[in-house]
Amino acid sequence: MQRLASAGAMVAVVISMAACGVPDPNPNNLNPRGAAPPGADTNTGVTIPIDVFGAGCANLPQGYAPGSLQAVQSQPVLAGAEDDPMLTTLATSANAAGLTQTLNYTEQAITVFAPDNAAFADLQKSLGAQRFNALLADKNALGNILKYHVLAARNSRQTLVSAGAVPTLAGGTLQIRNAGPTISVTDGSGATATVLCGNIPTANAVVYVIDKVLMPNKM
């Protein structure tokens, strides 16, 4: 009888807390360890917010704020990127390259490796301001580089790692490997990027925020 009374008291406490509007300690539905729980990431390539992994996921806007996991899952990929403070340079570059229609509406099931703002800053340092600005002004060249970051199907972490080598919309391939708690992406130039936050679902894509701009060959 004492056990039944204790269980009843615990249920009453839980119901009372819910009724009082106790804040959700995990508003983005992130797995506490930053990785998808067993079975959440399937072979379909489709992901949900709880599937995300990577230390950078903690930098996403929280709750239902613009750019949050809850917000972008119902938005086309570039619309979501525009609201993500880590991806504003990518969004601006894609719009400048004339890829808005393609990435938001024409392509209905894609994977996007999304260099963060720091990755574009590093590329500018590597190329120098003059070459970097010339690249941004060259719509075709910029578009081809950005399409090198896009795959023509939704891919979860599991499907990417299982494939190993994946073809891009621009031609050429990317090499995918497990890298401890995250994954790495090696481009045609031999440079390797690390996924900062992956398995991010949008209305038409799965997004992987990465720390380098990928290149099909050395510039």
**Residue carrying the six token digits 């990435």:** 103
pLDDT at 65: 96
Residue 20 has pLDDT above 50, yes or no: no
Place 10 in a pLDDT band, splitting at 50, 70 and 90: very low
**Mean pLDDT across the chain:** 85
- Give the whole-number percent of the chain exceeding pLDDT 70: 80
Enumerate the β-bridge partners of residue 174. 166
Cβ atoms of 150 and 110 within 8 Å: the answer is yes
pLDDT at 106: 82
Residue 165 has pLDDT above 50, yes or no: yes
CA–CA separation, 56 and 144 (whole Å): 26
pLDDT at 214: 98
From the number of C-beta atoms within 10 Å of its C-beta (0-12, 13-18, 19+), residue 137 rates as exposed
- pLDDT tens-place string over residues 51-108: 999 999 999 999 999 999 999 999 999 999 999 999 999 999 999 999 999 899 888 8
Alpha helices in 98-219 (DSSP H): 100-101, 117-127, 129-137, 139-147, 157-163
pLDDT at 217: 86
- What 3-state class would DSSP assign to 185? strand
What is the reported pTM?
Answer: 0.81
> In this structure, what DSSP letter does residue 218 have?
-
pLDDT at 83: 94
pLDDT at 43: 66
Q: Quick one: average pLDDT of 199-218? A: 95
pLDDT at 25: 42
Place 124 in a pLDDT band, splitting at 50, 70 and 90: very high
